[in-house]
């Protein structure tokens, strides 16, 4: 039997690598995509492409989509994982127009354009789309104005696509809280007290790890979950349930 194909964008990041690895071990043919020209994941095929270019580039079909179809070959495209994202921090006063537009292009427009382009193949395979959202779509903090807005819109896009594409294609969103990626750990280097406070803020008593995100992704993409669509699944260690007040 021919393996089903899954495309994972942002495949070189911590979460992307974990999703690629989990899909590969579960028997998928995995195509990775990243703006970094060198693959660092266990994908079967790798495509170098910067999704920041997808909105303006006249050759998006040639430079991106046709490469995906060639990489998939005879493997039916059954899953699209829109994982690639940028996180540019800045307050309302600080955020630059170009930073705002790049955030929306990568985090919101690219998932829509990729979904549109691969829709005929996903329909034929009765596949699904998984958008990687964030707890910042629901509750955020200072200087996340661009990122939080893009993720809130991505959650809304998930629900709208699920309604629009059902029952042929399922569409879901996986929204993690703080996850132990190399990027996060680098940001807390030398800040053990702050890192401990971040972990303690989660009712689970710790932050999540990339493998937990990957296992949740496998569940949402599984063929035996046909009734799961339009779902925004918060993998948040309980942090969205905690009320922080002055008391």
**How do 5-9 and 128-132 pair as beta strands?**
unpaired
Select which of 147, 150, 169, 210 is catalytic: 147
| Sign for the pseudo-dihedral over CA of 48, 51, 56, 59 | positive
Fold of 5-178+210-235: Rossmann fold (3.40.50)
For residue 187, the model assigns a pLDDT of 84
| For residues 191-195, average pLDDT | 94
Dmax over CA atoms of the chain, in Å, equals: 60
pLDDT band at 107 (very low <50, low <70, confident <90, very high): very high
Give the predicted TM-score (pTM) of the model. Answer: 0.96
Q: Strand pairing partners for 48? A: 34
Give the list of residues 6+ apart from residue 136 with CB closer than 8 angstroms, or none: 144, 147, 148, 151, 152
**Helices vs strands, H then E, count in the chain:** 9, 7
Q: What percent of the chain has pLDDT over 70?
A: 100
The domain locations on the chain are 5-178+210-235
Tens digit of pLDDT for each residue in 169-183? Answer: 999 999 999 999 988
The lowest-confidence range among 21-35, 115-129, 186-200 is 186-200
Which of these, 39, 29, 25, lies nearest to 6 by C-alpha position? 29
Query: In angstroms, rounded to a whole number, what is the distance separating the alpha carbons of residues 64 and 100?
Result: 23
Distance from the Cα of residue 191 to its chain's centroid:
27
Q: Can 49 be counted among the known catalytic residues?
A: no
Over 70: is that where the pLDDT of 247 sits?
A: no
Tens digit of pLDDT for each residue in 18-60? Answer: 999 999 999 999 999 999 999 989 999 999 999 999 888 778 9
| For residues 197-225, average pLDDT | 97
Q: Classify residue 179 by its DSSP letter.
A: B
Tens digit of pLDDT for each residue in 147-165? Answer: 999 999 999 999 999 999 9
Average pLDDT, the chain: 96
């Amino acid at each position: 039997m021919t393996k089903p194909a899954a495309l994972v964008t942002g495949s070189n990041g911590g979460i992307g690598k974990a999703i690629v690895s989990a899909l590969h071990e579960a028997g998928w043919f995995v195509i990775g995509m990243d703006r970094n020209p060198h693959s660092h994941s266990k994908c079967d095929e790798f495509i170098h492409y910067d999704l920041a270019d997808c909105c303006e580039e006249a050759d998006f079909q040639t430079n991106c989509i046709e490469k995906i179809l060639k990489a998939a070959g005879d493997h039916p495209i059954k899953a699209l994982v829109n994982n690639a994202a940028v996180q540019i921090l800045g307050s309302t006063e600080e955020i630059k127009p170009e930073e705002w537009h790049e955030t929306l292009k990568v985090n919101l427009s690219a998932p829509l354009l990729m979904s549109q382009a691969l829709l005929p193949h996903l329909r034929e395979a009765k596949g699904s789309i998984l958008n990687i959202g964030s707890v910042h779509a629901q509750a955020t903090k200072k200087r996340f104005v661009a990122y939080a807005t893009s993720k809130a819109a991505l959650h809304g896009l998930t629900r709208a696509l699920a309604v629009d594409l059902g029952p042929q294609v399922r569409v879901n969103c996986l929204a993690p809280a703080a996850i132990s990626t190399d990027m996060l750990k680098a940001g807390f280097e030398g800040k053990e007290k702050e890192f401990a406070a971040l972990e303690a803020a989660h009712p689970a008593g710790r932050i999540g790890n990339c493998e937990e995100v990957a296992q949740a992704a496998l569940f949402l993409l599984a063929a035996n979950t046909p009734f799961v669509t339009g779902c925004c699944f918060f993998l948040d260690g309980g942090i969205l349930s905690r009320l922080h007040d002055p008391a």
